[in-house]
Chain A
Amino acid sequence: MELLTLSAVELGAAIQAGKATAVEAMEAVLRRIEEREDALHCYITIDKEKALERAVEAQRRIQAGELAGPLAGVPMAVKDNLCTAGMPTTCASRMLGNFVPTYTAEALRNLERAGAVVIGKTNMDEFAMGSTTETSAYGATRNPRNTEHVPGGSSGGSAAAVAAGECFFALGSDTGGSIRQPASHCGVVGMKPTYGTVSRFGLVAYGSSLDQIGPLGRTVEDCAAALEILAGAGPRAGQGEAASRDMSGEAGRSPESIVPDRRDSTYLYRKDTDFTSALKKDVAGMRIGIPRDYFGPGLSEEVRHSVMAAAELLRGKGALVEEFDLSLVEYAIPAYYTIAAAEASSNLERFDGIKYGYRATGVEELHQMYKQTRSEGFGPEVKRRIMLGSFVLSSGYYDAYYLKALRVKAMIKKAFDDAFVRYDCILGPVAPTTAPRLGESLDDPLKMYLGDIYTISVNLAGLPAISVPCGEDGNGLPIGLQLIGDCFQEEKILRAAYSYEQFRKEGQG
């Protein structure tokens, strides 16, 4: 069986059926990595031996009947801003070049308990700041479809690894589009869940109020299956074990919560996370809104054409598609870069050379050590955002910038609330263009920021959204379709995305 042609869920089923093993799957992935990694550079860290050992262990447990989930034994990749106990976690920064956490991100732990097997840590923009994976301190990742182009970012390594068959699915994080945009550029599916659906404990924070972990996969089904486990609801293997209690006690309880081992105050413990059962090929009567504001100047003609064609396809299958004015779209970028940079400037203060990570040498005095460590440890894009964030929080400017941005955020949320009274889903492009060439974006950060225009409002409003492939441009570079849902309405966008994916396959078939 050619394992690499299978989706993650198909592979999981084959492993459960005894038609394949976790070890064979891992070997196949490692062979593919051998072939393509030099050209693509999807990963920052791969430990082949350990990956194989983990696969052997997973297979043993599957055979012993201990692991029966849909992703048990399936090799996966993890973005390098998710902490992995015993494995370097660099955030693609020189600052954390030597950092090995003692704990694993809660979301990843859920997947590992369900039997998914970690291959390694994928490349990304430094501290998730960037849209091309070029700000990585460890070199850029290339787009598997065309290595002259970037894979998008910041979860570019994860998206490229999925597209290239260097893993079966991957984890990313999405603060302003960092899962959806690289998924779109690499021709894979990427999903950002409702804020609070996945625990952020162990995700190195960029913009805490916007960050959310999500899956990237080859199919909508893969993403639904992974998200269901990531969200952590339902019976979890090992729940209540000592390891999950090492930080409980009185803490781990907040006044509004009765959950004893709570580690992320913003994590919602949703019960409605049976996402796979939403995968029905049926859009009859589904109300889909297309914001006219998403089709204005700046959008490439090829992208517009593909996205509109997708809308037409859904209309043809019975969806009620209409255009509407979402409004406020032009305010999303300044609001986003104000809030994200402000939070980042504070979140990244802990990287100071005192406790872990990079420390400058040859300095005498404490504040000089801080300055030099941070000057040498961070790259230019990270420094730019720290400076921007520090500025908007400084006294005298706080009200004018930060508070105003928060107000804009609330207004954007309101605009979406109004739209979701009328629509089940909002449909639009993910990015204005297909993946740019390497080196094209870094000289003009403002242009790079503008590329986030269709994705960031979703983070500001805390909404779920998914990116599904919907075509290619003239150079064979993929185009993504974005479906946005109201908070907690993952089922609706999953159904729409799954239906579209199936109808499109039939159309092509």
Chain B
Amino acid sequence: MEKDYETVIGLEVHVELATRTKIFCGCSTAFGGRPNSHTCPVCTGMPGSLPVLNRKVLEHAVAVGLATNCRITRCCKFDRKNYFYPDNPQNYQISQLYLPICRDGYVEIDVEEGLEGERASTPGKKRIGIHEIHMEEDAGKLIHDEWEDCTLVDYNRSGVPLIEIVSEPDMRSAEEVIAYLEKLRLIIQYLGASDCKLQEGSMRADVNLSVREVGSAHYGTRTEMKNLNSFHAIARAIEGERNRQIDLLESGRAVVQETRRWDDLKGTSYAMRSKEDAQDYRYFPDPDLVPVSIDDAFLEEIRARQPEFRTEKMARYRTEYDIPDYDIEIITGSKHMADIFEATVALGAQPKKVSNWLMVETLRLLKERELDPEDIRFSPEHLAKLITLAESKAVNSTVAKEVFELMFEQDIDPEAYVEEKGLKMVSDTDALRRVVEEVIAANPKSVQDYRGGKDRAIGFLVGQTMKAMKGKADPVTVDALLRELL
């Protein structure tokens, strides 16, 4: 009979920081440059070059640490992790082993009651411990050219700043893992420290997982799973690895401590390397970088800059704006969307209207185009103008939606656009009355049907009028006018 197993999960999350320049040199971190165009002697490991820490990296790392309740290491150092691979131009990565910038923090996630664990602050909340956060540099990229049968190296990513957030083994299910990642993502996005896109690799998670019999005091042997590019893949990998380990144990075999790579297409993982081939990284303090000492003033500066986080924002929205809880949850689920919402409201738009445009049209277009809320490009000014146009009945709702779509794509100024294209509704009732009279005169059959009691016929006449007006009339007004004249 199968025993009752518990899954124990810890996460190593790499986050690419949103700095303009690299961690140890002034090269751009911009994506997609020509290979090796964002490089210099420092990030290509040329002889005699030396690293100098980018202050912005430290600011972001400390900000994330404060937001996740960590202790900030007042005197932190960088260490070298030595290993030979061509994507690593110095053949050592500058990272932090001995004195990482942040330690002993936590975040709280929402869980079902009963699953809170020991350190919960309130029912329905579970604390996920953060062991440490350290700063490090990203590596370059190897490009295998099958055609020429050679491998090329692109160092544009070499030296892009990362933080690695190492959790405690506090998660027990895929749901908790996703909740934890979502929480981290929101905190970091709210801080503006990263855009945290799993698909694009600006947030990457490695899953450390073991299983044990429920009630056991000891952890089982764990494996580390890499190459997880979406929440979906993470959930599937956790399920797969849990089952694989349980099968091993049930059949009397042992779990081997190893690093495995997830293949999301096949839905399976395979071993990359076991503990036995683990390299000796010969970590030691990097003598090229002086220790970073963090004083109270620096810490206060970062603390003062901490933004309103999601929980606080949601609470404020509930009291300040008359919009549904569901809308609040969606809007605050993206800092960027919340910023647009607040800025548009600040321009005088009615919160409920702004929320509607975000919840309906914006979400529809994002979904259709497979974009994230972070990808929204239209400005609050333009959204506010569009709302004004629609609310004052200057354009009808069909036109408004069309203009919105253009605005979503190109951030056009809706006011100027409507003016330029002559899309404004004709408010001159005499002119409208003349067109309606013409439509009545031109469609005796429909008029007859209507008078004969077929109410549907009026719809056709409204359509004809709208067509004649090139859409620049309010269908409700047209309908009323037709009924009056007939």
**Stretch of B18-26, B367-375, B379-387, B443-451 at the chain-chain interface:** B18-26
**Stretch of B82-90, B176-184, B464-472 at the chain-chain interface:** B82-90
**Stretch of B48-56, B331-339, B418-426 at the chain-chain interface:** B48-56
Q: How far is the CB of B381 from chain A (nearest CB, A)?
A: 30
A102 to B49, CA, bound (A): 11
| Tier of interface size on chain B | 35 or more
Q: Find out whether the CB atom of B52 lies under 8 angstroms from the CB atom of A254.
A: yes
Nearest residue, chain B, Cβ from A99:
B47
Q: Find out whether the CB atom of B46 lies under 8 angstroms from the CB atom of A356.
A: yes
Q: Find out whether the CB atom of A398 lies under 8 angstroms from the CB atom of B288.
A: no
Inter-chain contacts of B293 with A (CB < 8 A) = 255-256
| Tier of interface size on chain A | 35 or more
Main secondary structure of the interface of A (DSSP, over half): loop
Q: Which of A204, A208, A354, A395 has the most CB of B within 10 A?
A: A354
Q: Is B45 part of the binding interface, using a Cβ–Cβ cutoff of 8 Å?
A: yes
Inter-chain contacts of B84 with A (CB < 8 A) = 349, 352, 367, 370
Contact bitstring B39-79, A, C-beta under 8 A = 1, else 0: 01110111111111111101000000000000000000000
Name the one of A263, A342, A349, A367 contacting B92, with C-beta atoms under 8 angstroms: A349
Inter-chain contacts of B5 with A (CB < 8 A) = none
Name the one of A204, A393, A395 contacting B48, with C-beta atoms under 8 angstroms: A204
Q: Find out whether the CB atom of A248 lies under 8 angstroms from the CB atom of B26.
A: yes
Contact bitstring A96-111, B, C-beta under 8 A = 1, else 0: 1001011101000000
Q: Find out whether the CB atom of B52 lies under 8 angstroms from the CB atom of A265.
A: yes
Inter-chain contacts of A2 with B (CB < 8 A) = none
Nearest residue, chain B, Cβ from A250:
B21
Q: Find out whether the CB atom of A208 lies under 8 angstroms from the CB atom of B90.
A: no
Q: How far is the CB of B441 from chain A (nearest CB, A)?
A: 72
Q: How far is the CB of B49 from chain A (nearest CB, A)?
A: 7
Q: How far is the CB of B374 from chain A (nearest CB, A)?
A: 22
Q: Which of B21, B42, B52 has the most CB of A within 10 A?
A: B52
Q: How far is the CB of A403 from chain B (nearest CB, A)?
A: 9
Nearest residue, chain B, Cβ from A366:
B86
A96 to B46, CA, bound (A): 11
Inter-chain contacts of B54 with A (CB < 8 A) = 250-251, 253
A352 to B283, CA, bound (A): 19
Question: Can you show 10 pairs from A to B with CB atoms below 8 A apart?
Answer: A91-B47, A101-B46, A204-B48, A246-B26, A251-B27, A253-B52, A254-B290, A255-B294, A346-B80, A351-B47
Name the one of A81, A201, A249, A343 contacting B49, with C-beta atoms under 8 angstroms: A201
Inter-chain contacts of B417 with A (CB < 8 A) = none
Q: How far is the CB of A344 from chain B (nearest CB, A)?
A: 11
Q: Find out whether the CB atom of B53 lies under 8 angstroms from the CB atom of A102.
A: no
Q: Is A29 part of the binding interface, using a Cβ–Cβ cutoff of 8 Å?
A: no
Q: Find out whether the CB atom of B290 lies under 8 angstroms from the CB atom of A203.
A: no
Q: Given A208-B287, A350-B90, do A249 and B280 touch, yes or no (CB 8 Å)? A: no
Extra A-B contacts (5), CB below 8 Å, given A208-B288, A252-B26, A351-B47: A203-B48, A247-B40, A264-B50, A265-B288, A350-B45
A103 to B293, CA, bound (A): 31
Inter-chain contacts of B46 with A (CB < 8 A) = 101-103, 355-356
